Amino acid sequence: MPSYSLSHLADRVLLRDLASLVSQDRNTTASLLAHLAEVEARGLYRPAAYPSMFAYCVGELHLSEFAALRRIRAARTARDYPVLFEAIADGRLNLTAVLLLTPHLTPDTVDELVRVAKHRTKPELEQLSHSVSRSRTCRLACRRSTRRDSITRQSKSANSFRNELNWR
């Protein structure tokens, strides 16, 4: 049985062990997410008489509702973008980062967003998420505006051409 009294450890040993445990926790989290994603993909919660992965996590694995929801969402996202498993395992991202990035991830953006989100705090990630949303909205508006301008230019060109034909 492990002892949870650590007062006898030297400072250096305590800090070394803590860093090791954090590293193990990150690897365990990435592995847990991979397992959750695969269990859900195979529907293995059904033979255990659970109607959903969420119900399985709460009823069978005894996760809190909040923990189950966060991990299932992160697992689904990481299954779609496997680089996230690695980013969690090596500590570049945590669950909060994955969940805040999820709405913005595409095959084209995932690597860049992982790079930019690396080791960010929650407020920094929220700001990043907000600016990515604004940027995406701006790009869509610019695309629409460019398309509208292009149609207007084409229409003006066609009208000019028609006027030119009528003039001659």
Domain annotation covers residue 3: no
pLDDT at position 119 over 80: yes
Q: What is the pLDDT of residues 41-54, one digit of tens each?
A: 999 999 999 999 99
Q: How many domains does the chain have?
A: 1
Q: Which residue has the tokens 């709460």?
A: 58
Residue range of the domain that includes 44: 13-157
Domain annotation covers residue 120: yes
Residue 37 structure tokens:
């994603």
Domain annotation covers residue 121: yes
Q: What is the pTM of this model?
A: 0.79
In sequence order, the 6+-apart residues with CB closer than 8 A to the CB of 132 are: 104, 113
